[in-house]
Amino acid sequence: MKNILRIFFYNLFFWLGLYYIVITQFNTIGKIDHEHSNFKGILFFGMLMNALLFHGIVHYWIPRNFKYDTLGKSILQLLAIYLFITAIECLVDYIFIPIETKDLNFFLEIVIINFAANFIYLLAGSLIGLTILWLNNERKNQLLIQENLKTQIKFLKSQINPHFLFNVLNTAYASAKINKDNTTADIIMDLSEMMRYMLYESDQKYVTIDKELDYIKSYLELERRRLPEEYQQNIHYNFNINKDNQLKIAPMVLIPFIENAFKHGRVDISPVSIDIQATLSTTNVLTLTVKNIKNPYKTTRKNSGGIGMNNVKERLNLLYPNKYALDIQSDEETYQVKLELTLNT
């Protein structure tokens, strides 16, 4: 907040200083001079429009609308903004400049002056805005690289030799099958698939959506099997997504929301304690909804889960800037998270 106020006052002082210099150092601007009563007012309005154009480009339009992959469209939008603001300024000048003869030459002079002045602000705003955008993207990329490195280091530290571990799991799976212990065999299979995904897929920048959902299903089945049989059916999930879909998603980006539901929720409420739904729209927007009954005997999210959720949001900001919406609803009994994520093709 302090940084925003400081930037605001810096810019305010700059424009007021520029306005003061112009009204004290220039006797005329076009056909209007100090003799006219409207000189300061017209000049103030003109500089207000200049500032609107400049800061609108730098702080609003470029961060929200500029796309490198649709450069032609972005340039046309920028020119439309430039023409619109300049046209307003020309119209106001033509109406309020107190001059007796307002002929075509007078109008053309207004148009040339305003178009030239605003073009300077257009170029300056575009250059500064694109520079800020590039610097922000570089910062985000560096943070993402650091986050990925931290994740990989954590995995490396926690790994026993993967081949040895998978051999042990395969041996345990075979032993369970021989002894006709299908429940244990299924648990080992789910655990093996989860570990394979964590070790060999999660270091990729993106994976197909079906791999991410398969990992989540394995996790959910393991959580179910940990519960007494009478509670297992209280865990509901439905992923209404075509298995052949080749859309890409950042690995491990969904699982924290589901882990939180088990960490802070109850599993003994029938018919549904935890409900997880995932759908995919025709516009490639993935919607994940996770709802759970709160457990009053467990530490609240506010005290124990806030840092984790902040990390998840930060990762979403880095991976999906302006491409996700996160809505969290909480009351005395339930907690619900709804994530909408625009996936990559």
Mean pLDDT of 126-151: 84
Average pLDDT of every residue of the chain = 82
Q: pTM for this structure?
A: 0.55
Residue 336, pLDDT above cutoff 90: yes
Q: Which residue type does 261 have?
A: A
Q: Write the pLDDT tens digit of every residue in 209-237.
A: 999 999 999 899 888 888 888 888 888 99
Please enumerate in sequence order all residues whose Cβ is within 8 A of that of 96, keeping only pairs 6 or more positions apart, or say none.
Answer: 38, 41, 42
Please enumerate in sequence order all residues whose Cβ is within 8 A of that of 311, keeping only pairs 6 or more positions apart, or say none.
Answer: 256
Mean pLDDT of 284-303: 78
By mean pLDDT, which of 48-52, 255-259, 311-315 is the weakest?
311-315
CATH homologous superfamily of 230-342 equals: Histidine kinase-like ATPase, C-terminal domain (3.30.565.10)
Q: Which residue type does 31 have?
A: K
Higher pLDDT, 278 or 65: 278
At residue 307, the pLDDT reads: 45
Most confident of 154-158, 214-218, 285-289: 285-289
By mean pLDDT, which of 49-58, 71-80, 125-134, 335-344 is the weakest?
71-80
Please enumerate in sequence order all residues whose Cβ is within 8 A of that of 265, keeping only pairs 6 or more positions apart, or say none.
Answer: 273, 274, 292, 293, 294, 295, 335
Determine what percent of the chain is predicted with pLDDT higher than 90: 20
Mean pLDDT of 157-182: 73
At residue 342, the pLDDT reads: 94
Residue 226 CB: number of other CB atoms within 10 A? 12
At residue 87, the pLDDT reads: 92
- Reported as a pLDDT band with limits 50, 70 and 90, residue 280 is very high
Domain ranges of the chain: 2-149, 230-342
Mean pLDDT of 29-56: 75
Residue at token pair 């570089």? 138
Q: Where are the beta strands (DSSP E) in the chain?
A: 28-29, 32-33, 207-208, 235-240, 248-249, 274-280, 285-293, 324-330, 334-342
Determine what percent of the chain is predicted with pLDDT higher than 70: 85
At residue 263, the pLDDT reads: 86
At residue 298, the pLDDT reads: 64
